[in-house]
Structure 1
């Protein structure tokens, strides 16, 4: 589904992403781990179109999408969430979901005058889908609450819901566990698992919570200093000497 080929990103004389190459298979949940400063978020920004790589290629669904902007990738089914949720805090949870689907006829002033029945019909369909999404996320009780008043965990669930409103093919999740209490985190894990196994969503997940990575992700890709150190199942990655050194500053001999 997604192929990264020798991806590099330079900021002046600093290379934040250095020759990253790996594939993301359809219907997988790929974990992306590594110490702070490893280049994970920069890599996400490249994949999501927020940055243009210095060199290398990104292919999505067989198409070269290198350098395409975020809004272009959005229309192709590639979307992302953020470590700090980007909700519209003065809109309700329901309204945050309803504004996501693109090309709604109600966005046109002309259509509101001459095609109001189509505008209203589309709005009802979008509203119905938004309520179904809130029900799936177990957030119907906050449907009419301003999104800015939600808890950290509820905001993370709402961000996941916004990706559902787009019928996304590939979702980039940036540290979904950050700032979430354990109860809501377990709920978030369950929803991601259902979307993957039952609804065909593919995920790439940046996370420092190794319990979440172990539960959800296969394969796991570990980065350090802008490079991919190793890719494999969780147990293999966790026990690799390079990974131990990257996280703990140990040499192979020290670890032994």
Structure 2
């Protein structure tokens, strides 16, 4: 589904991503781990089209997409979330979801005047999909609450819901566990697993919570200093001396 070949990204004299190459197979949940400053989020930004790499290639669904904008990639089914949720805080949770689908006829002034029946039918369909997402995420009780008033965990669930309002094929999740209490984190894990196993979503997951990585991810890729150190199953990665030295230490042993 996704192929990265020798990606490089420099900021001035600092090399944030250094010849990164790996593949993501359809239907998997790939874990991307490593210490702070390893280049994980920069790599996500390259994949999601936030900026082009200095060199290297990105292929998505067999198509060369290197340098395409985030908007163009969104329309191809590549969607990302952020460590700090980017909700429209003055809109309700329901309205946040209804904002997502592109090319809604109600966005046209003329359609609102000349084709109001089509606009109304399209909005009803989008609202129905939004309610289905809220029900799946167990957020119907906050549907009419302003998104800015939601808890950190609820905002992360809402971000996941926004990916459900698109034709997403690949979802990049940037530290979904950050700022989430353990109860909502378990719920978030369950929803990611269901979306993967029952609805066919493919995920790449940046995360420091090794328990979450162990439960959800295969394969696991570890980065350090902008490079890929190792790729494999969780047990293989956690036992590699380079990984232990670079980042994980006793954390993995405790999580296991």
Deviations 1:58-112 (A, max 9, x none): 0000000000000000000000000000000000000000010000000000000
Rounded Cα–Cα distance in structure 2 between residues aligned with 1:248 and 1:215: 16
Q: Deviations over 1:102-157 (max 9, x none)?
A: 00000000000000000000000000000000000000000000000000000000
What is aligned with 1:49? 49
CA distance in 1, matches of 2:248, 2:80: 29
SS, match of residue 129 in structure 2: helix
Residue 102 (1) aligns with residue 107 (2):
no
Question: What are the Cα deviations for residues 23-70 of structure 1, in whole angstroms up to 9, with x where unaligned?
Answer: 000000000000000000000000000011000000000000000000
Offset at residue 247 of structure 1 (A): 1.2
Using the alignment, how far apart are the partners of 1:56 and 1:245 within structure 2? 28
TM-score (normalised: structure 2): 0.97
The SS at the match of 2:7 is: strand
Match of 2:58 in 1: 58
2:238, 2:248 within 8 Å by CA — same for their partners in 1?
no
Q: For the residues of structure 2 that align with 1:248 and 1:134, how far apart are their CA atoms?
A: 36
Aligned counterpart, 1:227: 227
Q: Residues of 1 paired with 2:249 and 2:111: CA distance?
A: 61
Aligned position for 1:122: 122
Residue 103 to residue 248, structure 1, CA distance change in 2 (3 Å): closer
| Matched position secondary structure for 2:198 | helix
- The answer as to 2:90 corresponding to 1:90 is yes
Whole-angstrom CA distance in 2 between matches of 1:249 and 1:132: 42
**C-alpha separation between the residues in 2 aligned to 1:185 and 1:99?**
25
What is the CA–CA distance in structure 1 between the aligned matches of 2:152 and 2:36, rounded to whole Å? Answer: 22
Deviation at 1:197, TM superposition (A): 0.2
Counterpart residue number, 2:253:
none
Question: 1:171 and 2:168 equivalent?
Answer: no
- Distance of 2:74 and 2:153 partners within structure 1: 24
Q: Secondary structure at the match of 2:79?
A: strand
Structure 1 position 187 matched with structure 2 position 197 = no
Kindly state the Cα deviation for residue 167 of structure 1 after the two structures are TM-superposed. Answer: 2.2
Name the CA distance, whole Å, in 1 between partners of 2:57 and 2:93.
Answer: 37
Cα distance in 1 for residues equivalent to 2:13 and 2:137: 44
Give the aligned length: 250
Matches within 5 A, 1:57-76: 57-76=57-76
Stretches of 4+ moved more than 6 A in 1?
Answer: none
2: CA distance, partners of 1:62 / 1:12: 32
Q: TM-score, normalised by structure 1?
A: 0.97
Computed over aligned residues only, the root mean square deviation of the Cα atoms, in angstroms, reads 1.0
